[in-house]
Amino acid sequence: MGARILVVDDAAFMRMMVKDILTKNGFEVVGEATNGAEAVEQYQEVKPDLVTLDITMPEMDGIESLKKIKEIDPEAKIIMCSAMGQQAMVIDAIQAGAKDFIVKPFQADRVLEAINKTLDS
């Protein structure tokens, strides 16, 4: 069985795309969240091996959510998902402990590369 992954994005379409890439490649999507607050809750409930976390979301953004998850679990493996032109936020996220980032629109091979690299780290 592949790694257990929590997918976080406020857009259902984006979650579906990521989920599709993951499940086709043997990963298990154990949870989905639509904002940062939900992501933190889900993380504690499902204890995933890895999280894909959107940067821009309502209520609590990805950076804040990343910091909270890292407080709960300093070992958490988190990959940020960003739109083009969010480099400054990506840098903040990496400094706050994100392992990698993927840029929308998602390319399956890049998503898998980031996930495999992060799981192996």
CATH number of the CATH domain containing 106: 3.40.50.2300
- Average per-residue pLDDT for the chain: 94
SS3 5: strand
pLDDT in tens, 25-61: 999 999 999 999 999 999 999 999 999 999 998 888 8
Positive or negative, the CA dihedral 41, 105, 90, 85 is negative
* Residue 6 pLDDT: 98
Residue 47 falls in which region: left (phi positive, over 0), alpha (psi -120 to 50) or beta:
left
In 3D, which of 100, 80, 111 has the Cα closest to residue 18? 111
What percentage of residues in the chain have a pLDDT greater than 90?
83
pTM value is: 0.94
Q: How many domains does the chain have?
A: 1
**What is the pLDDT confidence band of residue 87, given thresholds at 50, 70 and 90?**
confident
Domain of 48 in residue numbering reads as 4-120
